Amino acid sequence: MSEKVALISGVTGQDGAYLAELLLSKGYRVDGIKRRSSSFNSERVDHLYEDPHKNDPRFRMHYGDLTDATNLIRLVQEVQPDEIYNLAAQSHVQVSFDTPEYTANADAVGTLRFLEAIRILGLGDRTRFYQASRPSSTARCRKCRSARRRRFIRDRPMGVAKLYAYWITVNYREAYGMHASNGILFNHESPIRGETFVTRKITRAVAAIEAGAEDCLWLGNLDAQRDWGHARDYVEGMWRILQQDTPDDYVLATGETHSVREFVELAFEQLGVPIEWRGEGVDEEGFDPRNGRVLVRIDTRYFRPTEVDLLLGDPSKAKRVLGWEHSTPFRQLVAEMVDTDMRSFRGSNTFQRRAIGE
């Protein structure tokens, strides 16, 4: 059987990097789409890089952008992929409040552009499509009053854009018979998670505090609860979704939830530092009871205009149909992230402070 070809958008992101690694290990040829940037943005996949002068490299990267339809059509035509994984997105919730139009263009219309590329090029029978969707209807929103509004949560511009992406994927499946599936993935993290998501912000801050480079970690809502898994486990689920004979939508989640507060406590525990809490609301602080040192404070800048208090997924269908289950316990995920950040902090005296404040 000839080697399968996968095209991954967002290959320079957390999931793109893990997925590229997985598919290469399964014998695929992987073509990734990266954005042009004035500084290098391929750090997460540099270890997969192959000299383009080499004959027939198995991992290649192409410049592209989800906001450029002509570029996507050309790339799909050139690559003739068996599988497309659309992972590219403006994926940060807070940033989507600042750049709502761009977020809609990339996250919502970007998905449509890919589906249209498959349709226009007549690849509907050959190319399978995976859309990186996110949880929405199972979440609760503090400001949404009625149960009806709660069901159709409009928690953030990114959530709305991703809902469009979800439904247009379903629509192309039903209207044109495409093998197009959604993976509805609950939060998944790793040592290469973007530095402005809360888990990585915490683990980087813990490493910086340990080295004496920072005094305190500033956070927003400590009581938000998330269903956090490991990205390495989740990319296996994405691949399994596209191996099914029939396209469908699946939830990938751990089925357990933890608060930001618990994440903080566990992260400091890796240094042997206990955290206790005192005060309320914006005056709450986390301190080390052995010496009274305050290590965690609240900054209202990190509160969201609308917040999703609780995310908890039900992965039973993925288990039943795909045979997929997450395999990294929460405690192990936190330990791995703290450990990696501590090692990279020690190995570099230019550890960047910039993201700790996001």
Residues that bind ligand F7E (CB under 6 A): 91, 93, 134-135, 186-187, 196-198, 201, 219-221, 224, 226, 260, 302, 304, 307
Q: Which residue has the tokens 């009806």?
A: 148
* Residues paired with residue 141 on neighbouring β-strands, in sequence order: 308
- CB of 291 vs ligand NAP, minimal distance in Å: 35
Would you say 12 or 127 has its CB closer to ligand F7E? Answer: 12
Q: With respect to ligand F7E, which residue has the nearer C-beta, 93 or 273?
A: 93
Which of ligand F7E, ligand NAP, none does 35 bind, CB closer than 5 to 8 A by kind? Answer: ligand NAP
| Interface with ligand NAP, residue 137, by CB under 6 A | no
Using the rule CB under 6 A, is 67 a contact of ligand NAP? yes
Q: Which residues pair with 135 in a beta bridge?
A: none
Segment contacting ligand NAP by CB under 6 A, of 20-28, 83-91, 271-279, 298-306: 83-91
Residue 180 interacts with which of ligand NAP, ligand F7E, none, CB < 5 to 8 Å by class: none
Q: Of 62, 72, 66, which Cα lies nearest the Cα of 30?
A: 62
CA atoms within 13 A on the CB side of 49: 11
Q: Is position 76 an interface residue for ligand NAP (rule: CB under 6 A)?
A: no
> Among all chains, which residue has been given the structure tokens 């609860």?
225
Structure token pair of residue 335: 């330990």
Q: Smallest distance, Å, CB 32 to ligand NAP?
A: 9
Q: Which is nearer to ligand NAP, 67 or 94 (CB)?
A: 67
Choose among ligand F7E, ligand NAP, none what residue 32 binds, the Cβ cut-off being 5 to 8 Å by kind. Answer: none
Helical H runs in the chain?
Answer: 14-25, 69-79, 93-98, 100-103, 110-120, 147-151, 157-176, 198-210, 231-243, 260-269, 316-317, 330-347
> Mapping DSSP to helix (H, G, I), strand (E, B) and coil, where does residue 53 land?
coil
Alpha carbon distance 130, 179 (integer Å): 9
The SS3 call for residue 33 is strand
CA distance 100 to 109: 13
Assigned token pair, 196: 């402005």
Q: Which residue, 135 or 247, is less far from ligand F7E as judged by CB?
A: 135
Nearer residue to ligand F7E within complex by CB, 251 or 260: 260
* Residues sharing a CB contact under 8 Å with residue 292, sequence separation 6 or more, in sequence order: none
Q: Which residue has the tokens 């908890």?
A: 312
CB of 207 to ligand F7E, least distance (A): 16
Query: Which of 31, 65, 83, 307 forms a contact with ligand NAP (CB under 6 A)?
Result: 65
Which one of ligand NAP, ligand F7E, none interacts with residue 123, CB within 5 to 8 A by kind?
none
**Does residue 194 interact with ligand NAP by CB under 6 A?**
yes
| Residue 340: other Cβ atoms inside 10 A | 17
Token look-up 């449509």 returns 112
The single residue among 4, 35, 119, 319 that binds ligand NAP, judged by CB under 6 A, is 35
Shortest spacing between CB 276 and ligand NAP, in angstroms: 29
N residues, the chain: 358
Identify what 87 binds: ligand NAP, ligand F7E, none; CB under 5 to 8 Å per kind: ligand NAP
**Cβ atoms of 266 and 331 closer than 8 Å:** yes
Q: Is 286 in the site for ligand NAP (CB under 6 A)?
A: no
b/e per residue 21-60 (b: at least 16 CB within 10 A): bbbbeeebbbbbbbeeeeeeeeebbeebeeeeeeeebbbe
Total of residues contacting ligand NAP (CB under 6 A) = 26
- In the list ligand F7E, ligand NAP, none, the entry touching 219 (Cβ below 5 to 8 angstroms by class) is ligand F7E
41 binds ligand NAP, rule: CB under 6 A = yes
Nearest residue (CB) to ligand F7E, 135 versus 315: 135
In the complex, which residues of this chain contact ligand NAP (CB under 6 A)?
9-10, 12-16, 33, 35, 37, 41, 65-67, 87-91, 106, 132, 134, 185, 187-188, 194
